[in-house]
Structure 1
Amino acid sequence: MVRRRDVAVSLLCLSKGDHDGHGETRKKELVRAAVSFGMTPDSVIIVEDQNLPDDPKKAWNVALVAKTIEAVVVAGDVDTVFTFDRQGVSGHPNHIAAYMGVKHMALTSQRFKLRPINAYALESIGIVRKYCSIIDTVFSLSILLSSKESLVFVSDVQAYSIGVQAMSMHESQMVWFRKLYLAFSRYMFINTYSKIN
């Protein structure tokens, strides 16, 4: 999306990733990753709200998440939002809360009754397909052909290389299984989204 001149892309992160005490480092890493994709540092919005802690054991208040996202959407005149789905890709409760917040916002906010926003959720897939790499294209493209409400993004070699570079910017999180993710995860090559609203 960043490559398109007719699209302005912003990145909203609902916490600074401070669960392990590396929040300031992770903020810098996220900005560097976004810049490697061609974004500007000021297009990265990182929320620092103690009510939205980076913690896999704490549930976020869905109404607060919706209100936080809505404020950014309105301020930036955003017309399309991409987020996780109800499984949060990895089952992380903060990711799931992000989905629930976007869904709540899109369906209930009075601001979007007259001018609806498009909201899409990244589709979580099973572990076998997750690590099928580019081979999963066969399954994912069949989803696109069967649904008018789905989007499919496929990375070419250049986009994959940029994705690897961006992921590598997250040095504080680059543990062994994330290196396997870079090589084998289908999310590095292809992502399918379904419409939320």
Structure 2
Amino acid sequence: MWLTAIPKVVIKTYLWSFILWLILTTIIPQTLTKYFNDEVISNTYKTRYFPYHSLISPSQLPIQNSTVYYVMGHPDDETMFFSPSLIEVLRPKHNNSVKLICLLPGDYVSPSMGSLRKEELLSAARIYGIDKDDVFVLNYRDGMNETWPLDSIVNDLASIIGTNHQQLHNPLTLITFDEGGVSGHPNHIATYEGTKKFFDTYYKSLSNDYRLYKLKTFNVFEKYTSTILTNIEYLVIQLPRLLARNIFQIGIDISFFSNPNEEESSIKFFGDMNTLGLSFGAMSFGHFSQMESFRYPWILFSRYFTYNNLIQVL
């Protein structure tokens, strides 16, 4: 009898967790904006953009006024794994120029599929607000058994990004997978290793204007908790800051369980209902060919759609 109750318990847990997430990340911040933001109260705006809360930790995004390259393996990786951070980094107030580098066209099924998926990536990029000229698709072979020469990745990244820091007009930020590649996918891991080797070769020894961030890989349990663990982290880290800044007018940037050393090299992005809707649109409309039946459970239960943890590679 108790076995038949498990699905109901799981469904209720996820449903109530989603409702709590909606309240924490969307309803509360929007309510605070309505009643405590001077621009909204007076209907006098200093910029062309409506005030909004960035749900990140630390509260001041370290990636600003920069040229940002997301280096990924497959078309759709930008949405499947990076969308909470991508959407935040793209916000106009941060004044970043964001570009996508995809190392393979997604032609595992057939060459024609590769051409189709390139166009889908451009469509998804357009939904995010990224110009087609800022999307680069290379031609590495797709597959679990494929081995990519790291020197080749380094050379390709050098041809796109450049190697002479004196010719760069803005600080440079690279964002990619980590050693675990989200799921242990060898293409993702090679993407990280090639990007890191490129960064180490040309930019690591330079100033803090040049940074490499890697996306933290979650274990199997954590990966499919959807909003459950995100709620806990948000309650501990972000909500106290949000309330303090708006209600009590106190500029705190600490959490009850934060490690100051980790905070300096880690950025946590908490998505809300608006960013989740944008991610769903980019995936279901932009990458329509990939919306097979098994994708829907991933979208519903993957934590990567509501939370990213980028760790700076020092």
Q: TM-score, normalised by structure 2?
A: 0.57
Structure 2 SS opposite 1:12 = strand
Correspondence 1:18 to 2:18: no
Larger radius of gyration: 2
Alignment map for 1:20-99 (pairs within 5 Å): 20-21=109-110, 22-48=113-139, 52-74=140-162, 77=168, 79-99=172-192
> What corresponds to 1:104 in structure 2?
197
What code does the residue aligned with 1:86 have? E
Structure 2 SS opposite 1:153 = strand
Contact 1:73 1:79 in 2 (8 A): no
Structure 2 SS opposite 1:118 = strand
Deviation (angstroms), 1:139: 4.9
What code does the residue aligned with 1:157 have? M
What code does the residue aligned with 1:152 have? K
CA deviation string 1:67-102 (max 9, x = no partner): 212322228946001101111112111110110011
> What corresponds to 2:258 in structure 1?
145
> What corresponds to 2:280 in structure 1?
164
Using the alignment, how far apart are the partners of 1:145 and 1:25 within structure 2?
44
Using the alignment, how far apart are the partners of 1:4 and 1:127 within structure 2?
34
Using the alignment, how far apart are the partners of 1:102 and 1:61 within structure 2?
12
Deviation (angstroms), 1:117: 2.0
> What corresponds to 1:175 in structure 2?
292
CA deviation string 1:111-163 (max 9, x = no partner): 65345620011011011111111222235858x93212111111121111000
Give identity over the alignment, percent: 33
Using the alignment, how far apart are the partners of 1:196 and 1:113 within structure 2?
12
Structure 2 SS opposite 1:10 = strand
What code does the residue aligned with 2:118 have? K
User: How many residues are aligned here?
Assistant: 192
Of 100, 113, 138, the residue aligned with 2:205 is: 113
Correspondence 1:154 to 2:301: no
What code does the residue aligned with 2:130 have? M
Deviation (angstroms), 1:17: 0.8
Using the alignment, how far apart are the partners of 1:188 and 1:101 within structure 2?
25
Contact 1:154 1:191 in 2 (8 A): yes
Q: TM-score, normalised by structure 1?
A: 0.88
What code does the residue aligned with 2:186 have? P
Using the alignment, how far apart are the partners of 2:297 and 2:277 within structure 1?
15
